[in-house]
Each structure stands twice: as C-alpha cells, then as structure tokens.
Amino acid sequence: MPKITIIGAGAVGATAAQRIAEKELGDVVLTDIVEGLPQGKALDLVEAAPLFGYDSKILGTNDYKDIEGSDVVVITAGIARKPGMTREDLLKINTKIIREVSQNIAKYAPESIIITVTNPLDIMTYVTLKTTGFEPARVFGMSGVLDAGRFASFIAMELGCSVRDINAMVLGGHGDTMVPLPRFTTVSGVPITELVPEDTILRLVDRTVNGGAEIVNLLKTGSAFYAPSAAVTNMVEAVIKDTKRILPVCVYLDGEYGRKDIYLGVPVKLGRRGVEEIIELKLTDDEKKALDRSAEAVKAGIASFTELY
C-alpha cells in the first residue's frame, strides 16, 4: 500500500484522511502539533473501517518519525484568520508553521510528493518549495481543483444538469483574483459560453470567486472542508494511481505563461512523478490580463514573505 501522510488533523486534514482511507488509496498517517487530536481522529477512523470495509491502516501521531517513507504528504497545518488579525499577521504565522513542517518533511520523507493546502495557498506552496529544496515537480498546491469544483456545481444548479458532464477550468491565484475560464468550461464538450447568457456566466463566476467566503459567512466559525478535502483526494488519487489527469493545480512557473519564480494555478498533467507537464492554453487578451493581475497579486505576497525572512 502507498503511504499518504496528512499534516494537520483539523477539518480539512481529518476529512481528507477519511476520504483517502475510504477509497483505499493507501495507508494514512495523520499528524498534528496538538497531542491526542490526530490519535483520537485516527482511532475513530480505524473503528469505522469494519463498517465501511476498508483495509487502509490509519495512524495518528505527533512524531514526525512516523512519516518516514511517505509517498505523498499533504500539508493542511496552519491557523485560520481570526477577527482583528491582518493578512500580514496570518502570513507571518502560517509561514513559520509551513517552514517547520517542510523542514521535517525534507528530513523524514525526502522522496515524497507534497501537496500544500494551507492558505494563503500560492505563497505557502512557494515557502514549501524554498524550505524543502525539492524539485518543483514534487511540490504543488491545491486550489484550482476546488475552485473548478465550485464553478461546476454552480453551473449544474443553473442548468439543472448532472455535475458529471461538466468540466470546469479556473486559473490563477487562490483568492479574489482567481480566473474562472468560461471558454474552457464545458458541458459534455459544449462551452458554457454557448449555453448560458453572459450575465448569468458573470454571476456564476462571481459566486465562484467568492465561494470560500460564502461558506465562511454561513458557518460563522470555521471554513469549508468537505469540498477542499474532496479536491485533495482527487489530486492524491491522480498521483498514487498515476492517472495523468489534467487538472488545474498551483504549480511553480519557470517561464510558462510568461512568468518566472512564482506559484500560480494552471492546467497540468498529474502522475506518479507529480507535475509531469504544464499545459499552456492560448488565452485571449482579456484572459491574459486577468491572469497577469492574479500573478501580480501573488508576486506581491511572495515579496512580503521574502521581507519577513
């Protein structure tokens, strides 16, 4: 069985552990800084195994030694923004956490592929890369799969059709400047630009961009975790099963899309070696402009991280 480690046994991490175990993608190690938390959630999942009939082993631990030999490591450790906290404060705290986590991954699981989930996503994935020193193909972030999933769900609701027939594409940073691409979003191969009026598309795009905030506003405490953990599971599956799926992923760009030394969401081929190919779409001027705006926002975030360290 492959070994999949999840660092951070909070809402996203524990739900990802559950989904990965239920799909039997591998044995799961769940870790956290809080003592007892990963052990308790892992034991609960172990006790669910006979009821759902999965054979994945699940270990909860506070000891990084247990992640040795991991094929894939998912990072969900971090804190969420609390009232009164600035973006800068959050960046500082999560950068420190990601650096500590990444150092331990480099030490104990140097051959692993890392999927970063902690926000602000594009910057935290950059921190993961720079701290581990891994090659960029083995360090990438989960954003576009979630954003595209949200876009697809809104389109299905609007059209009253099955979500299975929808293929959505969202590029850019994971935040206000993300770039949903209606031209590359299809229902059974038909672009939605041919199926839905423009003002409706704009409304669905806007809802997608604010998808995370919509959930936060409803929950009041905490943020989304069912869809984020489902997106993580899809990406882990593509890697472990070497499916070569083409998915929007937050990846390191070295000249692609005219950008260097930055993480940004673009379509890639995911397989056992991680990011096996970056696919460059031919964008219109408006799409290019939107992606550039997103890249500038991520660049500014990375610059502030460089100042901090």
Torsion angles phi and psi, residue 265, rounded to 5: -80, 120
Task: Compute the Cα dihedral for 275, 68, 20, 74 and give only its sign.
Answer: negative
- Measured between alpha carbons, how far is 306 from 201 in angstroms, rounded to an integer? 38
Q: How far apart are CA 138 and CA 35, in angstroms?
A: 29
By C-beta, is 105 or 196 nearer to ligand APR? 105
Structure tokens of 266? Answer: 């673009």
Shorter beta-carbon distance to ligand APR: residue 49 or 80? 80
**Residue 295 corresponds to which tokens in the numbers above?**
């890249």
Q: What does each C-alpha distance from 142 to 24, 61, 114, 118, 125 come to in angstroms?
A: 20, 24, 10, 9, 9
Nearer to ligand APR, 58 or 278 (CB): 58
In this structure, how many other beta carbons lie within 10 angstroms of the beta carbon of residue 209?
20
Query: Is the Cβ of residue 21 or residue 117 nearer to ligand APR in the bound state?
Result: 117
CA dist list (Å): 170 to 51, 53, 298: 37, 36, 16
Residues in touch with ligand APR (CB under 6 A): 7-13, 32-34, 37, 76-78, 80, 97, 100-101, 117-119, 223, 225, 228
Cβ(119)–Cβ(127) below 8 Å: no
The residues carrying an active-site annotation are 174
Nearer to ligand APR, 6 or 192 (CB): 6
Amino acid identity of residue 97, one-letter, is I
Contact status, residue 136 vs residue 251, Cβ threshold 8 Å: yes
- Residue 6 near residue 31, CB atoms below 8 Å: yes
Taking CB atoms, the residue at the shortest distance from ligand APR is 10
| CA–CA separation, 140 and 128 (whole Å) | 9
The least distance separating ligand APR from the CB of residue 164, rounded to whole angstroms, comes to 25
Least gap, CB of 42 to ligand APR (angstroms) = 13
Which tokens is 243 given?
């499916």
> Would you give the DSSP letter of residue 171?
E
Closer residue to ligand APR (CB): 66 or 287: 66
